[in-house]
Each structure stands twice: as C-alpha cells, then as structure tokens.
C-alpha cells in the first residue's frame, strides 16, 4: 500500500514537472516566433532603406536622361537613348517609384517645395509649373517637386486718385 501511494506521489510530481516543461517550451516557441517576425520586419526596413538610397542616387541619372533626350538630333541615337530611358523608368517603377503629379493642384508642403511664385488669375497656391520633378517611393516622398505657385492678383476696386 505504501509503495502504491509513493508511486502515485512520484507520478504526480513527474506530471507536474512535465506540465511545467511543456509550458516553458510553449513560451519559448512563442518568444522565438515573435523574434522571427521582428527580424523579418527589420530586414524589410533595412532593405527598403537601401533601395531608397540607391533609387535616390539613380534619380540624378534619370534627370540627365530627361534633359538630354530633347537635344539629341540624330534619330538612331535618340531612339537608343529613349529605349534605355524607358527601361530605367520601368525598373524603378517596379520598385515602387512614381513621379509626383503636381501642375494644377493645390500646393502641399509634404509633396512640393516652392521655388518661386507667379502672379495670375488662378486660385492662390495653385501649382503653375513643375520646375524639378519630385518622386514617391511607394507612399514615401523621397524628393519633393520644385514648383512655381500662383500668387493671386488682387483687382483694385476703389478709385485711383493718382
């Protein structure tokens, strides 16, 4: 009888220890899963930052292409340059690069950098001209558009006694 009760106590102790070890294992698995998810997010952030820097450096080349294409006179050279330019644009857009469309829109300091103003009859702070193309990488502005905005002309409604 004593032997049976001793065996029962040992069994209960072993069962309790097994349950503790199982709980510890579950916590470790959860911690490891959380770490794995955190690591994946960090890796994505580092990759996107590296891509952003590379694309910012390539924007200079893209600008040079845009300026050089109109000045090419020979058709063969022009077609070849346009082909290279289109491939570069396609590759960069595959990474999420999009030009900021701004002409005719309201000035937004998140997307535009004012270079100058122009007097006209359009609504105040409307973008009149895109002086330097801006770009979005996915939804982040990596280079704001350099713009000329409208400065509304006030019409004189009083008498001119000069």
User: What confidence category does residue 33 fall into, taking pLDDT thresholds of 50, 70 and 90?
Assistant: very high
Q: Which residue has the tokens 């289109």?
A: 86
Query: Is residue 162 predicted with pLDDT exceeding 50?
Result: no
More confident call, 48 vs 3? 3
User: What confidence category does residue 100 fall into, taking pLDDT thresholds of 50, 70 and 90?
Assistant: very high
pLDDT number for residue 160: 52
In tens, the pLDDT along 62-93 reads 888 888 887 777 666 777 788 888 899 999 99
Out of 18-32, 110-124, 132-146, give the one with best mean pLDDT.
18-32
pLDDT number for residue 154: 64
User: What confidence category does residue 1 fall into, taking pLDDT thresholds of 50, 70 and 90?
Assistant: confident
Please provide the distance, in angstroms rounded to a whole number, between the alpha carbons at the two ends of the chain: 124
- Concatenate the DSSP letters of all residues of 18-71 into one string: HHHHHHHHHHHHHHHHHHHHHHHHHHHHHHHHHHHHHHHHHHHHHHHHHHHGGG
Query: Is residue 34 predicted with pLDDT exceeding 70?
Result: yes
């Amino acid at each position: 009888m004593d032997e049976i009760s001793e065996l029962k106590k040992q069994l209960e102790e072993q069962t309790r220890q097994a349950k503790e070890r199982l709980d510890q294992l579950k916590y470790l698995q959860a911690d490891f899963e959380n770490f794995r998810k955190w690591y994946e997010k960090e890796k994505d952030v580092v990759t996107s930052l590296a891509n952003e820097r590379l694309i910012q450096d390539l924007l200079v080349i893209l600008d040079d292409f845009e300026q050089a294409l109109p000045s090419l006179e020979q058709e063969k050279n022009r077609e070849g340059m346009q082909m290279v330019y289109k491939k570069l644009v396609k590759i960069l857009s595959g990474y999420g690069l999009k030009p900021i469309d701004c002409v005719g829109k309201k000035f937004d300091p998140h997307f535009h950098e004012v270079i100058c103003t122009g007097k006209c009859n359009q609504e105040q702070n409307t973008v009149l001209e895109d002086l330097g193309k801006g770009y979005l990488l996915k939804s982040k502005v990596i280079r704001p558009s350099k713009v000329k905005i409208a400065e509304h002309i006030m019409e004189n409604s009083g008498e001119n006694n000069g």
